[in-house]
A and B are shown apart, each in its own frame.
Chain A
Amino acid sequence: MKKIVLLYLLVLLFTACSTRVNIVNRSSEKPVVLPDYTDVTIPCNIAPLNFSVQGLTDAALVIKGDVDSICLTTGDGNFDIPLEEWHQLLAAQKGHALQFTVCRSTENGWEGLQPFNVQVSNDSIDPYVVYRLLPPGYGLWNRMSLMQRNLENFQEEEIYANRYGRGNCVNCHSFAGGKADTWQVHVRHNYGGTFVVRQGKMQKLNVQGAKAKPVYPAWHPDGRFIAYSTNNTFFHIHTADVNRWEVMDDGSDVMVVDTENGEVLTAPQFTQKEKYETFPAFSPDGKWLYYCTAQAVDTLTRQFQDVRYSLCRILFDAQHRTFGTQVDTLYSAPQQGSSATMPRVSPDGKWLCFVRQPYGQFATCHLDATLQLINLENGEITSTQELGSWHSWSQNSRWMIFASKRDDQRYGRLYIVHVAPDGSTSKAFVLPQPEATHFYDMQLNTYSIPELVSGHVDMTPQQFQQSISK
């Protein structure tokens, strides 16, 4: 019996020992790391940054912190960092950098290539992100899902999949204040409608007197009002442009819906025939309603490159359900010569992030669309230099997640960027995945509309389908 116990302990001891990597030589060669996690800043609670090294199969990795380290070896060039050890290392290394050293196997032993750093921020990121997963189609779709992913590990779950709804479409999911129990979503075609979820219960929102279906949503912080745009949308493809298609609005307005009774609130500024208004967004204090507006044109299919959106705001009085009369312009398209769309204000109210693109309003079509920041205190605009759109702020205003097609110009991937209190941004990094290189190489779906959420969305696909079927 004693022998068995001893044997058991010995086995435990061996398996508990981490891999030892003895670097005998150093090289100045830089490893080609895929995805590119070199010199990024990461949240202190993010999932492991699994990656592969191009051109190497037998390789080792040493992740060094101030006190602890992780050592791994691989025979196929892919590094799968153990979850628990990773989180322990992050917890110990908050506010400091981790040094990653990739080593290649040589006759004499391990040769360490030039190390790179990964800065571990003191700031955590919201633990979940909700997004759509679907092929990057044009007008048609086939399968699509609404997914939630735990950012601290690799767990991904379906909130809804359209195979339940016989091929319907779900879009424009939006969470009030990043809360997982209050959100809204549109369902199109089968079981169509706008649905609001409060404390796990989903109900159809009966919008009274709207001229058209609500589209892009934005929650008021009090959770009672939702601002929507109503868009007459169509698309065309380009005959000879690297941007494959163009989505246009031949008419759009903004409205605010009182979810208590479905009543539509509007203002003359939002319903001008000679202008297009779209992409509403509330400020965190609920006092301002931001939106984008552009001068309408006669023939959109010929003049689509002349349509440029300015970014404006107007006062909103939630108590009296009224709007102000004065419209402030934060970004003037005619002056700037480009379009501003998708405004989102940081939860601390200091920054507004929007997408800048040469013209038009649907940033997904524009590979050159970049994220811009407006300092709401002094109106200064700076570029993050990040190509992407559909950004979402974390609740601590320190992180943004957004969709970007920078890797291949077709499939959107989720990128995370750190925003410092002074508005400076770090190098964005792609959402970690197990076997990341293989995963993204084989992934034939695009990630769309990521929304950071502070908790788990307690909704199964069956419950979702049951609710919309009522």
Chain B
Amino acid sequence: MKNKRYINVLLAVLLVLFWVGLLVCAYQLQQYRFFAKEAEHLWISDEIWIFEQLQHPSGVVQLLTSALTQFYSIPFVGPVVTTLIGFLIYLIGVGCLRTIGKGRQSTVFSNTVFFILPAVFLFLCHENVWYSYRGDVALMVAMLFGYAFVQIVTRLKQRWMKSIVALFLTGVAYLTTGSAAVITVVVVCIYSFNYKQWLAMPMALVAWLLLGWYSVKEGHFISMEEAFTPLQYYEWPSTYYFQIFAWASVLVALVVGTTLQRINMKPLWQGMVFVGVIAFAIVQGITMYRGTHNSRNYELRTEEWLCHQEDWDGIIAMHEGSAQQTCFISYLNLALAQKGLLTERLFQFNPLVKSIKELPKDMDSQSFQGNEDAQSGASRLQHPEDSTAQQMVCAPLLMKFDEFSREASKLQSAVQMAWGGAALCNAHKAAFEANMLTPGQTDAQELKIQIITNAVFGTPKVAEKYLHILQKTTFYKDWANEMLSSKDALEKLAAPLRKGLPENNALYMKTQVGKTLQNTVLDADGQLRVPVGSIASQFYEAYILLTLDKNAILHWAQTLKGEKLSSLLQQAICAFAQPDEISSFGVSYSILQQFHALQQHQEPTGYRTSFWNFYYSTVASSS
């Protein structure tokens, strides 16, 4: 007896540890995915919008999901609520088992432990970018309907009434949750098998099948597959086996649980079953997570969030040590520029910069051959065998990502919004596309960008339209109300950006990043038209350094005469300017000393992240 108590305590502790562990995993491994869920299911406090959601099967779940996920922009909420949903599924399952198994072996840990499996599989579902959070909520609500069924029918005597309850509840479950109502059917079936209520089972099945078929007929779902499988919880057709596993594990949990209720197991065996299932869940969960986790995608989601929070240090910290910058237009470069560090630390993260242990033997002061123009500079970096170099500078888009993805659009809108000027038009376009590619077209961040850019470009009514939408949200209504309170409010944000637009309209060329930046920072006469050290000027300087554009570098240095120049720019001046002109550009004594040391074949301090090392790395790669 005492042993049994000790074992039960131990198992209870293990169970608690499991849920705490799942919470920690959700926080550590997925919390940045939950921030994105807010955009995908933005809650709109609008009667007509709410009513429209309810017109479709699973509309209630859609509303519940929106109601929950609107808080996911607050740290911790997403992981906590998601784990809680998993825990509630467990509790509801235990409740079902207890009610079904009344009079038999009492419900013990070993009977009920299988109900932890749905939570594990739902956790894995979130690794799929197309997965909608509705899937989690739908499973929980469907289980709730199953629980309601067993609670009601155990109080009824007439079999026909139990069948009616099965029919009714399954029908309501389908209209509320969609295809996840199969879980309700499963509960009904398990109950029917246990109590030989053979009429309830087909009634539940009929309700589920009929409503699914009718939903397809009415166009709510595109196919029978969508009507009856987890496919309806994915934005676009995708593999959904984790969701299937989650559903199947409910069935397994009920079957095994009710079977074990009939067996009088010794506490030790119960403990072993319990521990075995927990171990299985953990091992399988880890294995499957490793197999499906897309670290690059998650890194991007993390950067997205940190950018939204303006946590520039956080973004930089993510890349410290890894030193693998992939693209010119990137959150890292934006973060560095926001901190005023882009042109100081440009080559710290550049994969083209190799650690050259030996300086070139034939190096002399004439050995720095820059490029005559940006285009040849860019083409110089096009190493056929090294696509990293090509895309590093020439393609402003993402590597390893679909150019036409929401992630790519969000990145472009964030970075080019910061540039302003000639790139603002593309920031506007990218923000539109990022929002368009979001389910429901309700990405508040991208709507905010478009509100400002529409005001800049002279389409204020569109800005108003988006503001009216944000007025109906929980966390953006204050900002929207502020913008709508007076004409000046929005104009204050738009006016400086409008001032930075090019004087003459032209077509934006997405491949001509350098030209866009040049048109943003310099006017037609080559004079500076943005503040020194602005985001755009840092990116421009970074671009001409990366492309080894000799003329542009020297012109830029000329333009900035009298200002404090970045170390990298000073190093480039040393490399490209005539020896007797170097000092006239304002190159510091220490940089000059380093250059002289380099010319003496001595590796100067900080050589690893210098312009000279980048130059030789690039030249060595291309020769």
Contacts and interface: CB of A to CB of B under 8 A. Distances in A.
Tell me whether A and B are bound partners: yes
A238 B428 contact: no
Given A135-B441, A138-B429, A239 B459 contact: no
A443 to B, nearest CB: 9
Contacts of B325: none
Contacts of A412: none
B501 A164 contact: no
A240 B222 contact: no
Contacts of B461: 407-410
Contact of A441 (B429, B437, B465, B508): B465
A7 interface: no
A241 B222 CA distance: 41
B459 A142 contact: no
Contact of B462 (A137, A241, A409): A409
Contacts of A142: 436-437
B413 to A, nearest CB: 13
B468 interface: yes
A460 interface: yes
Interface residues of B, number: 41
Interface in B409-459: 422, 424-426, 428-429, 432-433, 436-437, 441, 454, 457-459
Contacts of A441: 465, 468
B457 A242 contact: yes
Given A238-B508, A244-B425, A244-B428, A438 B459 contact: no
B457 A239 contact: no
Contacts of A238: 425, 505-508
A444 B49 CA distance: 13
Nearest to B406: A142
Nearest to A134: B436
Contacts, number: 103
Nearest to B403: A140
B441 to A, nearest CB: 5
Contacts of A251: none
Contacts of B425: 237-240, 244
Contacts of A460: 219
Contacts of A411: 462, 465
Contacts of A236: 507-509
Contact of A239 (B441, B462, B469, B505): B505
B258 interface: no
Contacts of B428: 244
A258 interface: no
A301 interface: yes
A240 B441 CA distance: 26
A410 B462 contact: yes
A135 B441 CA distance: 9
Contact of A237 (B454, B501, B507): B507
A435 B462 CA distance: 19
A141 B436 CA distance: 8
B452 to A, nearest CB: 15
B502 to A, nearest CB: 5
Interface class of chain A by DSSP: loop
B475 interface: no
A297 to B, nearest CB: 14
Interface in A433-448: 435, 438, 441-442, 444
B504 A408 contact: no
Interface string B461-481: 110110011000000000000
A461 interface: yes
Given A142-B436, A438-B48, A410 B459 contact: yes
A60 B1 CA distance: 79
Given A140-B436, A444-B441, A460-B219, A241 B459 contact: no
A191 interface: no
A163 B49 CA distance: 21
Given A166-B236, A408-B459, A438-B48, A240 B504 contact: yes
Interface string A38-82: 000000000000000000000000000000000000000000000
A158 B469 contact: no
| A-side interface size class | 35 or more
B518 interface: no
B160 interface: no
A304 interface: yes
Contacts of B424: 239
A39 to B, nearest CB: 22
B280 interface: no
A241 B509 contact: no
B134 to A, nearest CB: 15
B519 interface: yes
A167 interface: yes
Which of B46, B426, B462, B464 has the most chain A CB atoms inside 10 A of its CB? Answer: B462
B326 to A, nearest CB: 22
B465 A237 contact: no
B526 interface: no
Which of A158, A161, A163, A411 has the most chain B CB atoms inside 10 A of its CB? Answer: A163
Contacts of A138: 429, 432-433
Contact of A140 (B433, B441, B464, B503): B433
A162 to B, nearest CB: 10
A135 B432 CA distance: 9
B404 interface: yes
B454 A137 contact: no
A411 B457 CA distance: 15
A237 B508 contact: yes
A121 to B, nearest CB: 30
B237 interface: yes
Contact of B49 (A237, A245, A409, A442): A442
B502 A239 contact: yes
B586 to A, nearest CB: 32
Contacts of B507: 236-239, 246, 301, 304
Contacts of B437: 140, 142
Interface string A431-470: 0000100100110100000000000000011100100000
Contact of B422 (A239, A244, A245, A444): A239
A255 to B, nearest CB: 29
B501 A409 contact: no
Nearest to A440: B465
Nearest to B519: A239
Nearest to B436: A135
A236 B426 CA distance: 10
Which of A164, A410, A462 has the most chain B CB atoms inside 10 A of its CB? Answer: A410
A442 B469 contact: yes
Given A163-B222, A239-B507, 6 more contacts: A166-B236, A244-B425, A301-B509, A408-B464, A442-B46, A461-B219
Interface of B: 46, 48-49, 216, 219, 222-223, 236-237, 404, 422, 424-426, 428-429, 432-433, 436-437, 441, 454, 457-459, 461-462, 464-465, 468-469, 501-509, 519
- 9 nearest A-B pairs in the assembled complex, by CB-CB distance: A408-B461, A236-B507, A240-B501, A135-B436, A410-B462, A240-B505, A241-B505, A409-B459, A444-B441
18 contacts: A135-B432, A141-B436, A142-B437, A158-B219, A237-B425, A239-B422, A239-B425, A239-B502, A239-B519, A240-B425, A240-B505, A242-B458, A245-B429, A408-B464, A410-B454, A410-B462, A442-B49, A460-B219
